[in-house]
Chains A and B, each alone.
Chain A
Amino acid sequence: MMNQGGMADGVAAFDPNSLEKHQGEDSIQPHASSYYYPPSSSGGSWSMHGPDIYTRDNGSYANANQNQDQLVDVTPRNAPDTQGATAVASGPSSVETAVAQDYNSYTSYTSADPYGYNNNAGYETYYNGYQQQPNQPYSQQSSQPYPQQSNQPYPQQSNQPQPYSQPVGAYQNTGAPYQPISSFQNTGSYAGPANYSSTYYNHGDYQTSGGYTTDTFSSQTNTWQGGQYATYTSQQYPNYASDATAGYSSTVGAAASQYQQHNKQWTDYYNQTQTENICAPGTENVYVPSTSTVSCPAASASSGYASSIQPSQFSLSSRPESSTSELTPQPVSASGDAYNAYWKHGAQAYQAQYSNFTQTSIDAKTSYQNSQYQQNSTSTQVLDAPYPALHQPPQSYQLPSQPASQHFPQLDVYRGSKLQIPTNPRIASNLALSLPKTNKESPATASVSKPAYISVALPKSNNKASSHDASDSALKIGMFPQSLRGYVERALARCRDDEMKMAASQAVMKEIITKGTADGTLFTKDWDTEPLFPLPTTDVMNEGSLFLTPTSSKSRSPSRRAKSRWEPVSEDKPINKPATPNSEAPKYSGWSKQYSVGKLENRNESGTSRFSLTTQKISIRDSQRPAKRRRNGTALGAVENGEASSDSDKEQDLTAYYSSAVALADSPDERKKRESRSKRFEKGHGNRSVKHHFKQKNEGNGNLYTRRATAMVLSKNLEENSSRAVEDIDWDSLTVRGTCQEIEKRYLRLTSAPDPATVRPEEVLEKSLLMVQNSEKNYLYKCDQLKSIRQDLTVQRIRNELTVKVYETHARLAIEVADLREYNQCQSQLQALYAEGIKGCHAEFAAYNLLCVILHSNNNRDLLSAMSSLSFRRLSPESRKDEVVKHALAVRAAVTSENYVLFFRLYKTAPDLNTCLMDLYVEKMRYAAVKCMSRSYRPTVPVTYIAEVLGFLTSTEANSEDLDGVDECVEWLKAHGGCLIEDNSGEIVLDAKASSLSLYVPEPEDAVPHGDAYLAVNDFFARKPV
């Protein structure tokens, strides 16, 4: 996730320059998004019941065993993954082995997993140096066991896995910081590759069949939508597209785009891509099985290509999100949470279930998105832009899903891209790029060619989209159903360009959501499948204009690159699939890319179709030769990555998009730069998002409620504020609402956002307060409890009479034990609360405040303000007659006039807490008094008198006590340098004259050098560092 964030940034950086150029890319994004959306109906089912679908799909494949195997495998895989997470270096190998075993057991699916491994390895090698593929244990091991298996069932898949493996390798290569992630990724990739391939296959088959393709798309899209908004969708789209290309040219194009995206991502953001990959693998695995089973073998080959690259990941991830958001798939969501946790901590391996994988991947992606979002969030426009972009893509996709209307969808996409372009540089660029390409292609090669272009552009667009999505998600993180978010985004994306439309759509959305919240369907509704409401207006004119402009200027670079990479393969795609894999696969590590590039050039016009073909070929080859595949895949991935990076550096935006075109061009320097760039954002954004997710995961289902609640609020907010700046968000509505029912809770200073599951609502807090008030336990316990109550109140922004009561209770307790630090905290809070007009014992605490100021401040201004707060004007006559207030005022007068007699009289008659506060001043007052007496009295002062006047005697009557008090007074006087003598009658008296010169203030016994005994720094100094 962190990596992704970095990538997004990198993209952003590039974007400005390439905005226009990228317009074509932007168009690509729209396509991707459209993919998401169209499948809403079927997708909904996916997201909701990802696991179920999976099984079904398997069954359809006739590989019921496979499904089961996969499931079983998943658990083992998870375990390995976790291990890998814990120990990056060691983990990978072990994990891989385990996974490999699992895979072996699998039939077709297992092969997919190996692919994933291989891919990772390839990436690693790529990163290290393209040639180093074999070095990494992961890639080798995994590739060996898995490739074979994978080849058997899904030759094509193997190709796809390669890209993944490369990222992993990169991680390992990069070193410590990333290693954990890489290990994760590896695990993810294990599961993922298989899934990917399967999903792709399915798609391909569907597309070939015609009606099938659309269905698969829709389902996938649904899942995607739910899970990932921008990145996910985009990636997924590419996958889809690839699938389609396998079956049909249009789909192929999509796949190609995915590839490019992947490549770019990888190259640009090692870290990011890796993280994404990791996520994706898990998700892909889960979902892929189902898709793969459904789809035919042939289709799978081509589709596997695309899917393996990353699309599958995306789709998977998206699904998990949707499921979580929807809340319907309890197992899935739970697993997803676990996954998130796993990601974050890398500790736990719950992911036995596929659902877990998918979810985790989703979460990771979401978190990634979030991080990106945060980055984006700085500029409100950016946020807005992401939304629209996303929305638009979905729309366009919908069109593509329908075979006949593919061209039209593209056009729509174009519109969307153009519209987006002005608002958000990044998005716009992406859209624009994708669109132009599509346009060119579409005319030249008809449906097939267009898709390819789109697909090419899509990768980049996907990245951007992902970033946007991330931003979106950041806004709403876990607040409301992802599917709903996706829905909103889609809706808004449609009218990205048109403000009027936007406003209208917002209004409509608002209605929808308020309605949803009103009738409680907001969280139960399958927003992924929910059809978008009709747009207020149509943008035919815009479309046309967009069409022309983007294609001409921006399509160029995309087409070139696409050609170079993909052409050879693309031509082959239908026919080559079977043949090419065998021949090409062996050499392919480095070759496949170049190969494809060459072909692509030839087929610029029919770029999309070629694209798909190339992907297919690669996948086929990989599948056929597992070991080689790995190499090939890694090589391919590496090449792609390298190309992408080099492109981006050189040509910036455009090149980045067409990273594939510039095979091997990337320079180490550029890579480094990118790496550092991507790293910049990892920690901050990535971590944050991760934390957030983690928490939510931990909370489990219980959190879902709160999430929903917050989400509802947020969604409302969003709708209302979608056009507003981030700063305008009403944070009140984001306030946590606790669900914890525990009356007792230990105080723990928050180091992150509060978890609703551990926050107590007001009713419970009331009970807690009562409990504390009636508690017999000591102050430390009560203080701890009260602090936790205060924290819960603060976190929930509860500021009412209960709050006042809590602070008053704590302040009184603190005064009792002279805990001035807590008292001061409470006092300042109370003053603010009273100032807000909340009722409480205002006068009482004003009195305490006055006493405190008298005793501890030598600032006359403070004293004046404290006094004026007790003056007639501020206090009602009744409260001024309050004993505490009167007493405090009297004490104040006694202190300022240095009237010790009065002071100690007041001390004796003080209300409880005033006594406690006065206690703190007694020593000072006594010393001043004795000093005064020693100056003014001659010749002597009887100690009994001093003891009486200075409050040593607790009562004026009891003799025994008097004696004790006198003794105490004698001790005190001696300690302060008083000269005590016996007069003629034997009474102990103070020699005033002698004492006047000898009095001093002794060092307090419990004095601490720094003045605060609480800090007790000495303890630390005393201890020797071990």
Chain B
Amino acid sequence: MKKDSIDMGEAERRITEYLKRFYDAVSSQDGKALSHLFSFSSLSLNTFPDLNRVITQSDEYADILLHLLRSLQSYRLRNLVESYQAFEKAANAFIQEFRNFESAWALEALYVIAFEIRMLADKADRDLAASGKTPEKLKGAGSFLMKVFGVLAGKGPKRVGALYVTCQLFKIYFKLGTVHLCRSVIRSIETARIFDFEEFPVRDKVTYMYYTGRLEVYNENFNAADQKLSYALAHCDARKEANIRMILRYLIPVKLSIGILPKTSLLERYSLNEYADIVVSLKRGDLRLLRNALQEHEDRFLRSGVYLVLEKLELQVYQRLLKKIYIIQKQKDPSKAHQIKLEVIVKAFKWLEIDMDIDEVECIMSILIYKNLVKGYFAHKSKVAVLSKQDPFPRLNGKPVSS
């Protein structure tokens, strides 16, 4: 009994101190201090007295604090679902207050809330899924953040925070697989003329560019993807290797598909070895190596969504192979080098242990010509591919293979 009462007294003291810090932060408009108070990781309130008794006195922010502390309480008790629900209430109450703030001093705290609610929802969903229920909290967090975005997206000083919330939304949408929901947010960010994109904080810009770049990869819009991911790479803090690696994981396939190969040292530095074989296969025209590499990392590529991009590199490998044949022929007999017989190509594939009959090879030649990876034409009667004498294998030079 005695110990309990002491604990209760101690807990109450801590709560009171917490409340004091909260009000101090609000009154002094100290966003940083306030943000700490919303961060679950930095809070060490373990026992909780009767919250209603403690907090009802403080009327102004009672909604926020009551739910926040309840959320904390549930969090400590590992009841994540309830914790999330309480936190969302607290966050909603905070949004109401934030709306009324003249300046954007509390943005820091809002960031923390946006982050915490996402993490909390994620954890709660895991709990829900484990107990056989429908995980829906992350979705709920998404709609909450959408609301936050609405608060920030308007004119004024608070707009700076919009990109952070957008990025949190991206993370949720990518996790949920509801990527299509990103579109409205992106439109709002990119069409707003009143606010220069460059005025957003760098970290948000990098994150934003990373996610939008990924979206472009999905759409096989390689030029745009290249531009966005390159931007992200260029502005990413060089010390954040994990982030750079994440960017490169998408940027490399994009670059490959527009004909730009990375240095081996880059792959090694960021341990992106899954691309090493692919790069080699492109250099050598080794179709077998490419196919093996794809098969080996199929699952990873499928999950990250670059599988189809990498698969399309086959055409470039064909081109490389043809070019090699062409070069060899040229060395033998320059006058007939531009005429490549189908059977030669079939033979080359056989050496690669790839079984392709002459019709298939003819089809591939036709496609290569059609896609402008090979200049020339194919003569069906003689089964010969006639290459242009000028630049028979045009380089992509940063342009994707035409479809």
Interface-located stretch among B241-249, B274-282, B326-334, B364-372 = B364-372
**A1000 interface residue (CB < 8 Å to B):** no
B366 and A864: CB pair below 8 A? no
A902 and B363: CB pair below 8 A? yes
Interface-located stretch among A190-198, A736-744, A928-936 = A928-936
A897 and B311: CB pair below 8 A? yes
**A1023 interface residue (CB < 8 Å to B):** no
CB within 8 Å for A860 and B370 given contacts A868-B302, A901-B360 = no
Interface-located stretch among B161-169, B189-197, B259-267, B373-381 = B373-381
Q: Identify A897's interface contact among B298, B314, B362, CB under 8 A.
A: B314
CB within 8 Å for A871 and B299 given contacts A899-B363, A932-B366 = yes
A901 and B362: CB pair below 8 A? yes
A868 and B299: CB pair below 8 A? yes
A949 and B314: CB pair below 8 A? no
CA distance A371 to B236 in the complex (A): 64
CB contact list, A289-341 vs B, under 8 A: none
Please indicate the chain B residues that have their CB under 8 angstroms from the CB of A863 in the complex.
308
CB contact list, A930-951 vs B, under 8 A: 931-933, 935-942, 945, 949
CA distance A949 to B362 in the complex (A): 11
B379 and A938: CB pair below 8 A? yes
Q: How far is the CB of B392 from chain A (nearest CB, A)?
A: 13
**A968 interface residue (CB < 8 Å to B):** no
Please indicate the chain B residues that have their CB under 8 angstroms from the CB of A937 in the complex.
366, 377-380
CB contact list, B233-255 vs A, under 8 A: none
**A896 interface residue (CB < 8 Å to B):** yes
Against A, the Cβ 8 Å flags (1 = close, 0 = not) of B182-221 are 0000000000000000000000000000000000001110
CB within 8 Å for A901 and B380 given contacts A932-B367, A935-B369 = no
CA distance A900 to B367 in the complex (A): 9
A936 and B369: CB pair below 8 A? yes
CA distance A945 to B379 in the complex (A): 13
Q: Which of A863, A898, A936 has the most CB atoms of chain B within a 10 A radius of its CB?
A: A936
Q: How far is the CB of B58 from chain A (nearest CB, A)?
A: 32
CA distance A882 to B218 in the complex (A): 29
B380 and A949: CB pair below 8 A? no
Q: How far is the CB of B305 from chain A (nearest CB, A)?
A: 6
Please indicate the chain B residues that have their CB under 8 angstroms from the CB of A941 in the complex.
380
**B312 interface residue (CB < 8 Å to A):** yes
**A781 interface residue (CB < 8 Å to B):** no
**A873 interface residue (CB < 8 Å to B):** yes
The residue in chain B whose Cβ has the minimal distance to the Cβ of A873 is: B299
Please indicate the chain B residues that have their CB under 8 angstroms from the CB of A893 in the complex.
311
Please indicate the chain B residues that have their CB under 8 angstroms from the CB of A940 in the complex.
380
Please indicate the chain B residues that have their CB under 8 angstroms from the CB of A932 in the complex.
366-367, 370
A864 and B311: CB pair below 8 A? no
The residue in chain A whose Cβ has the minimal distance to the Cβ of B368 is: A936
Please indicate the chain B residues that have their CB under 8 angstroms from the CB of A942 in the complex.
380-381
**B40 interface residue (CB < 8 Å to A):** no
**A867 interface residue (CB < 8 Å to B):** yes
CB contact list, B307-323 vs A, under 8 A: 307-308, 311-312, 314-315
**B179 interface residue (CB < 8 Å to A):** yes
Q: How far is the CB of A582 from chain B (nearest CB, A)?
A: 71
CA distance A257 to B362 in the complex (A): 98
Please indicate the chain A residues that have their CB under 8 angstroms from the CB of B367 in the complex.
897-899, 932, 936
Please indicate the chain A residues that have their CB under 8 angstroms from the CB of B362 in the complex.
901
| Number of interface residues, chain A, beta carbon within 8 A | 31
CA distance A804 to B166 in the complex (A): 42
A860 and B218: CB pair below 8 A? yes
B378 and A864: CB pair below 8 A? no
Q: Which of B219, B305, B363 has the most CB atoms of chain A within a 10 A radius of its CB?
A: B363
Please indicate the chain B residues that have their CB under 8 angstroms from the CB of A949 in the complex.
359, 363
CA distance A921 to B360 in the complex (A): 19
Number of A-B contacts (CB under 8 A): 78
A864 and B305: CB pair below 8 A? yes
CA distance A898 to B303 in the complex (A): 23
Against B, the Cβ 8 Å flags (1 = close, 0 = not) of A867-897 are 1100111000000000000000000010011
Q: Range of interface residues on chain B?
A: 20 to 34
A861 and B311: CB pair below 8 A? no
CB within 8 Å for A899 and B364 given contacts A936-B378, A940-B380 = yes
Against B, the Cβ 8 Å flags (1 = close, 0 = not) of A168-186 are 0000000000000000000
A864 and B312: CB pair below 8 A? no
Q: How far is the CB of A869 from chain B (nearest CB, A)?
A: 9
CB within 8 Å for A860 and B219 given contacts A871-B298, A937-B380, A940-B380 = yes
A861 and B218: CB pair below 8 A? yes
Q: How far is the CB of A865 from chain B (nearest CB, A)?
A: 8
Q: Identify B380's interface contact among A861, A899, A945, CB under 8 A.
A: A945
Q: How far is the CB of B155 from chain A (nearest CB, A)?
A: 35
CB contact list, A945-977 vs B, under 8 A: 945, 949
The residue in chain A whose Cβ has the minimal distance to the Cβ of B298 is: A871
CA distance A863 to B177 in the complex (A): 13
A860 and B378: CB pair below 8 A? no
CA distance A935 to B375 in the complex (A): 11
CA distance A872 to B296 in the complex (A): 10
Q: How far is the CB of A996 from chain B (nearest CB, A)?
A: 10
CA distance A445 to B391 in the complex (A): 120
Please indicate the chain B residues that have their CB under 8 angstroms from the CB of A899 in the complex.
360, 363-364, 367
Please indicate the chain A residues that have their CB under 8 angstroms from the CB of B305 in the complex.
860-861, 864
B365 and A868: CB pair below 8 A? no
A900 and B311: CB pair below 8 A? no
Please indicate the chain A residues that have their CB under 8 angstroms from the CB of B302 in the complex.
864, 867-868, 871
CA distance A206 to B380 in the complex (A): 112
Please indicate the chain A residues that have their CB under 8 angstroms from the CB of B386 in the complex.
938
Please indicate the chain A residues that have their CB under 8 angstroms from the CB of B377 in the complex.
936-938
CB within 8 Å for A864 and B380 given contacts A873-B299, A933-B366 = no
CA distance A900 to B370 in the complex (A): 13
A860 and B380: CB pair below 8 A? no
Q: How far is the CB of B224 from chain A (nearest CB, A)?
A: 15
The residue in chain A whose Cβ has the minimal distance to the Cβ of B358 is: A901
CA distance A940 to B314 in the complex (A): 27
CA distance A873 to B301 in the complex (A): 12
The residue in chain B whose Cβ has the minimal distance to the Cβ of A868 is: B302
Q: How far is the CB of B63 from chain A (nearest CB, A)?
A: 25
CA distance A931 to B367 in the complex (A): 10
Q: How far is the CB of B32 from chain A (nearest CB, A)?
A: 40
B299 and A872: CB pair below 8 A? yes
CA distance A897 to B308 in the complex (A): 10
CB within 8 Å for A860 and B366 given contacts A937-B377, A942-B380 = no
CA distance A893 to B379 in the complex (A): 26
Against A, the Cβ 8 Å flags (1 = close, 0 = not) of B372-398 are 000001111100001000000000000
Q: How far is the CB of A598 from chain B (nearest CB, A)?
A: 56
The residue in chain A whose Cβ has the minimal distance to the Cβ of B309 is: A860
Q: How far is the CB of A885 from chain B (nearest CB, A)?
A: 14
CB contact list, A903-937 vs B, under 8 A: 931-933, 935-937
CA distance A936 to B303 in the complex (A): 36
Please indicate the chain A residues that have their CB under 8 angstroms from the CB of B381 in the complex.
942
Q: How far is the CB of A1012 from chain B (nearest CB, A)?
A: 23
Please indicate the chain B residues that have their CB under 8 angstroms from the CB of A868 in the complex.
299, 302-303
Please indicate the chain B residues that have their CB under 8 angstroms from the CB of A902 in the complex.
360, 363
> Which 9 residue pairs across A and B have the least CB separation, nearest first?
A936-B369, A938-B377, A901-B363, A868-B302, A936-B366, A932-B370, A935-B370, A936-B370, A901-B359
A-B contact pairs, 15 of them (CB 8 A): A860-B218, A860-B219, A863-B308, A864-B302, A867-B307, A868-B299, A868-B303, A871-B298, A899-B360, A937-B378, A937-B380, A938-B377, A938-B386, A941-B380, A945-B380
Chain B residues with CB under 8 Å of chain A are 177, 179, 218-220, 298-299, 302-303, 305, 307-308, 311-312, 314-315, 359-360, 362-370, 377-381, 386
Given A898-B367, A932-B370, A939-B379: 15 more A-B contacts, CB < 8 Å: A860-B305, A861-B218, A864-B308, A865-B177, A868-B299, A897-B314, A899-B360, A901-B360, A902-B363, A936-B366, A936-B370, A936-B377, A938-B377, A938-B378, A949-B363
